[in-house]
Structure 1
Amino acid sequence: MASLARKRVALWGWGREGRAAYHAIRARLPQQPLALFCSETESAGAAALNDPLLSVEREATGGALSAFDVVIKSPGISPYKPEAVFAAERGTRFIGGTALWFAEHADDGTMARTFCVTGTKGKSTTTALLARLLRAAGLRTALAGNIGLPLLELIDESADAWAIELSSYQTRDVADSGARLRIAVVTNIHPEHLDWHGSERRYVDDKLALLTEAKPQIAVLNAEDPVLAALALPDSEIHWYGHARGWHLRGDALHRGDAFVMDTSSLPLPGRHNRGNLCAVLTALEAFGLDAVSLAPHAASFQPLPNRLQPLGERDGIRYVNDSISTTPHATLAALALYAHRQVAVLVGGHDRGLPWEEFADAMHERAPHAIVTLGHGVAGQNGDRIHALLSPMAAEGRFALSQARDLEDALAQARAALPDGGVVLLSPGAPSFGLYRDYVARGRHFAELAGFDPDSISGIAGMGIA
């Protein structure tokens, strides 16, 4: 943080991450002039600070950005945007708040107690479960990062262990910081966020930068993921899970090598993929030097995260499940697999970022739900109509009922009508919420409200922060 002094510094974005960066910098550098690029609606909040050393700019053009030595951008802003590329070519350095936190703690011993978790799916549950079991081991543990608490809000805090979730927007921040963390966990790699990264190849490279460029001492990897299984990491010690010699599942039975440890069928971890996340956590704990076998039963007290295959309850014989965080077709397939034994009407579709749905369509030949309702009919920027067109030939053969809805209220009505004898209405969109909702949380809350449940009662993540 001290290296920012006497540099021309700007913030880009005024969401929670942007505000955390501002307060962290101001606490350490009270006389540092700062510029802020943000939207018109955000500028009022910034102006209310009455900070004479903060200037608010409206338009983040390439020319405007290139006037600064360092731009601290919010995670949702892609460094591949033309204006960012223009400024970077002229010497402006773009970093995230995550990089600042890691750089601040690179040499104070914190890295020896830090776990970073990423992956296309499962990273939030894995990080929260990791924090739960670290606390069960008696360690004062921080749960932070992409899961909902910016690291810079904890810049002056200390902990025995840090469980940090990183999105693909943040993984390069660790390498940018120059810090070398102890343990990195990667759950899986599937195409996602192509609009931010620009291509599938760049998404994979950015995601894997946590391993290939940050070079953690220990890498905990999923042996069942083909991308991860093909990795060579000469600078890291690899610990595999999902492998017969390590922590893995045999049906519902959790094993450490050949040794049976426990039955997982009653754990609050819906779906085999979530129980695979438990294998990742136990592998990481073991690599850290803890007795993972004795800690495994504490998973029974884990509180599942909202919007992730979250059962809301039943109304008139219909069970409602909120999987709003599902933003890839692969995630939707995993959700359907969990309810393969039930009559299901699934709601799919959202912001179109170019992901292919052909694999999903192929899967419908063998394991289609009772009904599929596509969202966003006729709405610009939504992929529901594209999904509907892809699935129509199979629906015409009578494999499943298929319908289109403009919005979530309409979709829910159609899903209920498709289940006259009861069943499961599953919101698992396989796409982001942008265009119709602020984020997946708002989408999940609206689904709960439309289904007749209190959205406030289903939205909190337990254990955030240090405990």
Structure 2
Amino acid sequence: MGGGLVTRRVETFDGLRVTVAGLGVSGVSTARALARLGSRVTVVDGGDSERQRARAAELGAEGIDVWLGDGERLPGDTDLVVTSPGWRPDSPLFTAAAAIDVEVVGDVEIAWRLRGASGPPWLAVTGTNGKTTTVRMLAAILQAAGLRTAAVGNIGTPLVDVVLADPPYDVLAVELSSYQLHWAPSVRPHSGAVLNLAPDHLDWHGSMDAYAADKGRVYAGNRVACVYNVADPATEDLVAKADVVEGCRAVGFTLGPPGLSQLGVVDGVLADRAFIPDRRERAQELATVADVNPPAPHNIANALAAAALARAYGVEPAAVRDGLRAFTPDPHRIEHVADVAGVSYVDDSKATNTHAAEASLAAYPSTVWIAGGLAKGATFDDLVRGAVGRLRGVVLIGADRGLIADALARHAPDVPVVDLDRTDTGAMAAAVHEATRLARPGDTVLMAPACASMDMFTNYNERGDAFAAAVHALADGQGATEQ
């Protein structure tokens, strides 16, 4: 999608006329970094909010031009366009750039070029779900090994700032989205991982094949290990297609016992049969399932992927264990909120698509599921079909709840469903009330919406906060055990 073949590649930035698309965090960081390197920078953005005007004023004081309310027109004499991740490949700005053979890249690509040949290696993670948790686990393991590192990329500090840090980092744990990989043609990680693949962002990429191909770029040029998910053959297919350095190996992770060149689980132990000399005969203990917080199946998979990348970098087994023990999950990711009258309440607001919700539902034997929001074109038949045996009941909220209701009617007709027919923010308290009414001691009330949040909330964080507030109000009234 988008533009044509651009053959002119930019390597030096002094005196370069650069157009930065987007006035978000990565755009501002990139604009400032390139201006310090001597580029003449113009930032363009279609918005014109008060916050954007304030950012524009700050950049203007630093000699950086900003065009607000105009994100489609290419400034004259542009030598290079640097896009923020979310801009679509078919944006008029990029079409105009391709027409005059001007290269379009992302901020991640700029960071890679600024890193240079002697910069810190990247251990890179992508996938439809689990990226942030895995990268943070990886950073915790690398820190436990005594390395100067950071969790960066699609999270945390912009990569452009990190690669220019003084003193430099030893190694970076890098989360890369499909958007970022699309615009990063020359990134060559030390080792990379694709955690899973499920339909997502297809309106942006144009097809599942294009989406998968962009994810597969994380394997390009890998030197030591291409880490894939044994349970998701599509990830191994991407390894087979990758152009890697000679000697780089395919390393799988699995929730079952590990085969040769795999990491897996044996009797509650995370075991390595990939990075030990006698891997044909034995496995090396790295940690236990109890060291993973929380020990839900998909989170154990995240831990195995993080461990594989760390081991590819040469980290000792003890550091894997210590890093996983030190890791604290981010909020709204299968986060236990409270126990009330024998019922556990779990916030997984980050489960914004069906693949994430499927993993969350699989972690609990009996659930009252709170779901709904913006479906983003998703269908729910496979999700409901796979979860029906675990559903005590379902409470639906949000704009596209009818799609989930239809799937429940087809595949789980005996499961009680409460359709709240509400999209206001107060609906979450009502949803928790209805879920509590349906739940029995030993059940889990699980808020894993399988949808985006913007129909009712600013983001998934606000949605999760609303759920937690409703649960805490319930707990205060009934004498609960809170965490």
Give the TM-score category using the shorter length.
Answer: 0.7 to 0.9
Cα distance in 2, alignment partners of residues 57 and 93 from structure 1: 22
Alignment of 1:229-248 (within 5 A): 229-231=236-238, 232=240, 233=242, 235-236=244-245, 237=248, 238-242=250-254, 243-245=258-260, 246-248=262-264
The answer to which structure, 1 or 2, has the higher relative contact order (CA under 8 A, 6+ apart) is 1
SS of the residue corresponding to residue 321 of structure 1 reads strand
1:20–1:442 CA distance, 2 compared to 1 (3 A): farther
SS of the residue corresponding to residue 221 of structure 1 reads strand
Cα distance in 1, alignment partners of residues 326 and 319 from structure 2: 14
Cα distance in 2, alignment partners of residues 298 and 55 from structure 1: 43
Q: Which residue of 2 aligns with 1:463?
A: none
Whichever residue aligns with residue 3 of structure 1, its letter is: T
TM-score (norm 1): 0.85
Alignment of 1:392-411 (within 5 A): 392-394=409-411, 397-407=413-423, 408-411=425-428
The answer to whether 1:10 aligns with 2:19 is yes
The answer to whether 1:91 aligns with 2:101 is yes
Give the Å deviation of 1:136: 0.8
The answer to whether 1:154 aligns with 2:140 is no
The answer to whether 1:198 aligns with 2:206 is yes
Of 210, 213, 216, the residue aligned with 1:208 is 216
Cα distance in 2, alignment partners of residues 260 and 292 from structure 1: 8
1:64–1:229 CA distance, 2 compared to 1 (3 A): closer
The answer to whether 1:22 aligns with 2:11 is no
Cα distance in 1, alignment partners of residues 40 and 77 from structure 2: 16
Cα distance in 2, alignment partners of residues 39 and 390 from structure 1: 38
The answer to whether 1:319 aligns with 2:329 is no
Cα distance in 1, alignment partners of residues 310 and 64 from structure 2: 45
Cα distance in 2, alignment partners of residues 390 and 66 from structure 1: 52
Output the aligned Cα RMSD. Answer: 2.7
Q: Which residue of 2 aligns with 1:272?
A: 297
Give the Å deviation of 1:40: 0.9
The answer to whether 1:357 aligns with 2:380 is yes
Cα distance in 2, alignment partners of residues 196 and 83 from structure 1: 16
CA deviation string 1:74-105 (max 9, x = no partner): 11222234553454344343221111111111
Give the Å deviation of 1:234: 5.0
SS of the residue corresponding to residue 426 of structure 2 reads helix
Q: Which residue of 1 aligns with 2:306?
A: 281
Cα distance in 1, alignment partners of residues 243 and 88 from structure 2: 30
SS of the residue corresponding to residue 338 of structure 1 reads coil
1:333–1:437 CA distance, 2 compared to 1 (3 A): same
Whichever residue aligns with residue 113 of structure 2, its letter is: A
Q: Which residue of 1 aligns with 2:334?
A: 309
CA deviation string 1:94-117 (max 9, x = no partner): 22111111111131242xx32111
Give the Å deviation of 1:150: 1.4
Range with greater deviation from structure 2 (222-231 or 51-60): 51-60
Q: Which residue of 2 aligns with 1:461?
A: none
Cα distance in 2, alignment partners of residues 86 and 388 from structure 1: 44
Given that 1:66 and 1:87 are in contact with CA atoms closer than 8 Å, whether structure 2 keeps it comes out as: no
1:371–1:135 CA distance, 2 compared to 1 (3 A): same
Identity within the alignment, %: 27
Q: Which residue of 1 aligns with 2:396?
A: 374
CA deviation string 1:279-312 (max 9, x = no partner): 2222222221222356324422221122211112
Q: Which residue of 2 aligns with 1:73?
A: 83
CA deviation string 1:154-213 (max 9, x = no partner): 242111111111111112344x2x3432111221111112232222221111111222x4
1:266–1:210 CA distance, 2 compared to 1 (3 A): closer
SS of the residue corresponding to residue 20 of structure 2 reads strand
Given that 2:34 and 2:41 are in contact with CA atoms closer than 8 Å, whether structure 1 keeps it comes out as: no
Cα distance in 2, alignment partners of residues 445 and 28 from structure 1: 42
Of 222, 234, 242, the residue aligned with 2:229 is 222
Give the Å deviation of 1:266: 5.3
Whichever residue aligns with residue 401 of structure 2, its letter is: G
Give the Å deviation of 1:143: 1.7
Q: Which residue of 2 aligns with 1:32?
A: 40
Q: Which runs of 5+ in 1 are unaligned?
A: 378-382, 454-467
1:121–1:66 CA distance, 2 compared to 1 (3 A): farther
Cα distance in 2, alignment partners of residues 108 and 296 from structure 1: 30
Of 457, 460, 463, the residue aligned with 1:437 is 457
Whichever residue aligns with residue 413 of structure 1, its letter is: A
TM-score (norm 2): 0.82
Give the Å deviation of 1:270: 3.1
Q: Which runs of 5+ in 2 are unaligned?
A: 1-9, 274-281, 474-483
Give the Å deviation of 1:53: 4.0
Cα distance in 1, alignment partners of residues 325 and 233 from structure 2: 30
Given that 1:120 and 1:188 are in contact with CA atoms closer than 8 Å, whether structure 2 keeps it comes out as: yes
CA deviation string 1:301-348 (max 9, x = no partner): 2211222111122456553322111122121111111121x4x22222
Cα distance in 1, alignment partners of residues 41 and 299 from structure 2: 46
The answer to whether 1:413 aligns with 2:430 is yes
Whichever residue aligns with residue 114 of structure 2, its letter is: E
Whichever residue aligns with residue 390 of structure 1, its letter is: A
The answer to whether 1:451 aligns with 2:475 is no
SS of the residue corresponding to residue 251 of structure 2 reads strand
Q: Which residue of 2 aligns with 1:380?
A: none
Cα distance in 2, alignment partners of residues 305 and 167 from structure 1: 18
SS of the residue corresponding to residue 125 of structure 2 reads strand
Given that 1:122 and 1:277 are in contact with CA atoms closer than 8 Å, whether structure 2 keeps it comes out as: yes
Give the Å deviation of 1:358: 2.0
Cα distance in 1, alignment partners of residues 267 and 95 from structure 2: 48
SS of the residue corresponding to residue 11 of structure 1 reads strand
The answer to whether 1:43 aligns with 2:52 is yes
